[in-house]
Chains A and B, each alone.
Chain A
Amino acid sequence: MGKTLFEKIWDAHIVVETENSPSLIYIDRHLVHEVTSPQAFDGLRMNNRSVRRPDLTIATMDHNVPTNNRSLPILDQTSAVQIQTLEKNCKDFGIQLFDINSPNQGIVHVIGPQLGITLPGSTIVCGDSHTSTHGAFGALAFGIGTSEVEHVLASQTLWLEKPKPFEIRVEGKRKNPHAVTAKDIILSIIKNIGTSGGNGTVIEYKGEGISDLSMEQRMTICNMSIEAGARAGLIAPDEKTFEYLRGRKYTPKNYESLVDYWRDNLKTDSDAKFEKNYTLHVDNIAPQVSWGTNPGMTCDITESVPFPEDFSKGDQNQKKGAEKALEYMALKPGTPITEIKIDRVFIGSCTNARLEDLIEASTVVKGRKLSSHVRAMVVPGSQMVKKQAEELGLDKIFTDANFEWREAGCSMCLGMNPDILSPGERCASTSNRNFEGRQGTGGRTHLVSPVMAAAAAIEGHFVDVREMDLN
């Protein structure tokens, strides 16, 4: 019987495997950031261990970094300490670091692909759940905790249970691909399969609706695989993948011969078997807006806030969850989504802060002004994205419309730096999680695409971006 792409990558990285036992898997690339690594480095020191492969380990700082003026000192002392600790750890253990002043600094999942560190067929880990992003390149990439970070630093391997392969087919053509985006595809998938629908699996996304997407859009899809509970998301590499990585800073010298190998080998065999299957047809999907406190609580822009009993379909826990979510979100069932007013807009995060995301958002913003009661922030995913965007004049489009144009980092996705919501504030956010308090204590998050966030910023409430003229 044939193998899935996931199984091929897994098998190629087995160091030790015996029947009925966990597998020791080799890790090709280890990405490190300041939040989940300090205790791991402390552990190495306590046990007199070194970093096994500093050459395969790359670090940056993204979660804590302020996104305003970088020439000023960091006011939050605990953030400053965490950043300084990473600097010291990288120096002590010989790890390459893109620090706060580096032109390569940025969200770890944005810079990996941009620098050509992310490669097809490789295994990539990071102490960060959104490591699944790199699966867009046909890499097996997943988030790990700090104990596992220490294990990889020390040994370049991990003891793992083998996940099961899950095929998600995305079929059809989107009618309006500028208004109905990759974000709407992945939110639709999570809405349908649920936040634990992918538990214990590695999802492979296939079909016309996926091959149509650019690399940056594919990253948005794989990024949110974790929100469906999956270990990782994968897309088989194709010519778009190979073209994207060609000639980047760390792209290997023997790249073309690697491409020949990848082209022949990195695909699921036609007779391979998946444990689970799901198909989404995208011909008629609408822009998505989350209304609740997990990414599965999402509906079409044309719908209304659901009644808990309709949402739960008889499941008591789901019903209670929806009631609690509506209370937290201060929403009444039956309210049209387009009548929900917003206070803040966040365009950023490892889900949607790449150049294409900012270009798409700018087509909505150009020539218009931010709604007078809304504060909006654009936070590029990396300093490279920021520079490229500025070369295209996007910063001017946003600032002319009264949006704030910021330095790169995770920013308001998770409320670790000063960019947070105040209690009760409602935000249209291009990030990945609408959990209670995620963007700041008492903050209310609605997950949307960059164009939908931009449209809400202009109008002051959610609108169907399909009905707007895009520049």
Chain B
Amino acid sequence: MKGNVIKYERDNIDTDVIIPGQYLKVHDYAELALHAMEGLDPAFHSKVKEGDFILSGRNFGCGSSREHAPIALSHSGIKAVLALSFARIFYRNAVDGAFLLPIEIEEDAYSNISEGDELDIDIRINEIKNLTKNKTYKMKPFSEIIGKIIEAGGLFKYKPD
């Protein structure tokens, strides 16, 4: 999975800035995407490209349980969010609906990867290659259940062994 990075160098990016409350009445995913990250970065919509990744600090997706948050990012083209840690509901929402991959990274990746870098992420070997900087980082492996739901393509496709 290859893509370029949009970097937000901060912790606690909450679901109210990912998709502000007034859009929770919107059911059209393409329209939701128009407002993704609007609370933090009104330029997001004009710069995001299909296949991009978001890189951020700790506790990404904290706050409300709105599944609109990963939906808005996913329909903007974001394939994965790389963060030092995630809030749990956002994390599960991203995986349950197969909207995007929430990837936990270590400090080295967070500080080394810059805005615009091209990455190649391989979740089978838990590796992130920075093609721009020619470096490789480890990602934290998914837990067993998360790995299985991702593999199945979402919560409703997951069947226990």
Contact surface of A with B, Cβ cutoff 8 Å = 16, 20-22, 24, 35-36, 38-39, 43, 47, 63-64, 76, 78-79, 81-82, 127-129, 143-148, 150-151, 159-161, 195-196, 199-200, 229, 231, 294, 296, 317-318, 320-321, 324, 414-416, 420, 433, 435-438, 441
Verify B87–A196 contact, CB threshold 8 A.
yes
Verify A200–B16 contact, CB threshold 8 A.
no
Verify A436–B16 contact, CB threshold 8 A.
yes
A171 to chain B, nearest CB (A): 27
User: Known: A317-B11, A415-B20. Contact between A433 and B160, CB under 8 A?
Assistant: no
Verify B87–A151 contact, CB threshold 8 A.
no
Verify A199–B59 contact, CB threshold 8 A.
yes
User: Known: A35-B24, A229-B62. Contact between A146 and B39, CB under 8 A?
Assistant: no
| Contact string against A for B residues 97-118, beta-carbon threshold 8 Å, 1 for contact and 0 otherwise | 1000000000000000000000
Please give, as numbers and ranges, the residues of chain A lying within 8 Å of B97 by CB-CB distance: 145-147
| Contact string against A for B residues 5-39, beta-carbon threshold 8 Å, 1 for contact and 0 otherwise | 00001111010110011101111000000000001
Q: How distant is the Cα of A79 from the Cα of B62 in the complex, in angstroms?
A: 25
Q: Interface majority SS on A: helix, strand, loop or mixed?
A: loop
Please tell me which one of the listed residues A47, A195, A416 contacts residue B25 in the complex, with CB atoms under 8 A apart: A416
Verify B145–A435 contact, CB threshold 8 A.
no
Verify A147–B156 contact, CB threshold 8 A.
yes
Kindly state whether residue B79 has any CB partner on chain A within 8 Å.
no
User: Known: A35-B66, A229-B59, A321-B11. Contact between A416 and B22, CB under 8 A?
Assistant: yes
User: Known: A20-B144, A199-B59. Contact between A129 and B14, CB under 8 A?
Assistant: no
Q: Which of B43-51, B88-96, B122-130, B133-141 contacts A (4 or more CB under 8 A)?
A: B88-96
Can you list 28 residue pairs at the A/B interface with Cβ under 8 Å?
A24-B160, A35-B24, A36-B67, A43-B156, A47-B156, A78-B26, A129-B64, A129-B89, A143-B89, A145-B92, A146-B67, A147-B97, A148-B96, A150-B156, A151-B155, A151-B156, A159-B149, A159-B155, A160-B145, A195-B62, A196-B59, A317-B10, A320-B10, A416-B25, A436-B16, A437-B17, A437-B20, A441-B39
User: Known: A36-B65, A38-B27. Contact between A435 and B17, CB under 8 A?
Assistant: yes
Verify B25–A78 contact, CB threshold 8 A.
yes
In the complex, which of the residues A38, A420, A437 has the most CB atoms of chain B within 10 Å of its own CB atom? A437
User: Known: A20-B144, A317-B58, A437-B16. Contact between A145 and B67, CB under 8 A?
Assistant: yes
Verify A148–B87 contact, CB threshold 8 A.
no
9 smallest A-B Cβ distances: which pairs? A22-B145, A145-B93, A147-B96, A78-B25, A196-B59, A146-B67, A435-B16, A145-B67, A143-B65
Verify A127–B65 contact, CB threshold 8 A.
yes
Kindly state whether residue B85 has any CB partner on chain A within 8 Å.
yes
B11 to chain A, nearest CB (A): 5
Please give, as numbers and ranges, the residues of chain A lying within 8 Å of B77 by CB-CB distance: none
Kindly state whether residue B154 has any CB partner on chain A within 8 Å.
yes
Verify B67–A147 contact, CB threshold 8 A.
yes
Please tell me which one of the listed residues A36, A143, A195 contacts residue B12 in the complex, with CB atoms under 8 A apart: A195
Q: How distant is the Cα of A435 from the Cα of B38 in the complex, in angstroms?
A: 13
B9 to chain A, nearest CB (A): 6
Please give, as numbers and ranges, the residues of chain A lying within 8 Å of B148 by CB-CB distance: 22
Verify A317–B9 contact, CB threshold 8 A.
yes
Verify A199–B65 contact, CB threshold 8 A.
no
Q: How distant is the Cα of A147 from the Cα of B68 in the complex, in angstroms?
A: 11
Q: How distant is the Cα of A409 from the Cα of B115 in the complex, in angstroms?
A: 42
User: Known: A151-B155, A321-B12. Contact between A145 and B89, CB under 8 A?
Assistant: yes
Please give, as numbers and ranges, the residues of chain B lying within 8 Å of A414 by CB-CB distance: 16, 21, 64
Q: How distant is the Cα of A16 from the Cα of B40 in the complex, in angstroms?
A: 42
Verify B21–A415 contact, CB threshold 8 A.
yes
Verify B143–A161 contact, CB threshold 8 A.
yes
Verify A145–B96 contact, CB threshold 8 A.
yes
Kindly state whether residue B3 has any CB partner on chain A within 8 Å.
no
New A-B pairs, 11, CB < 8 Å, besides A36-B67, A441-B22: A22-B145, A81-B25, A127-B65, A148-B155, A151-B156, A196-B12, A199-B87, A416-B24, A433-B16, A435-B16, A441-B20
Kindly state whether residue B63 has any CB partner on chain A within 8 Å.
yes
A410 to chain B, nearest CB (A): 9
Smallest CB gap from B60: residue in A: A196
Verify A196–B25 contact, CB threshold 8 A.
no
Q: How distant is the Cα of A22 from the Cα of B96 in the complex, in angstroms?
A: 14
Q: How distant is the Cα of A163 from the Cα of B117 in the complex, in angstroms?
A: 35
Please give, as numbers and ranges, the residues of chain B lying within 8 Å of A144 by CB-CB distance: 65, 89, 92
Please give, as numbers and ranges, the residues of chain B lying within 8 Å of A22 by CB-CB distance: 144-145, 148
Please tell me which one of the listed residues A21, A36, A145, A229 contacts residue B145 in the complex, with CB atoms under 8 A apart: A21
Q: How distant is the Cα of A129 from the Cα of B143 in the complex, in angstroms?
A: 22
Q: How distant is the Cα of A78 from the Cα of B32 in the complex, in angstroms?
A: 14
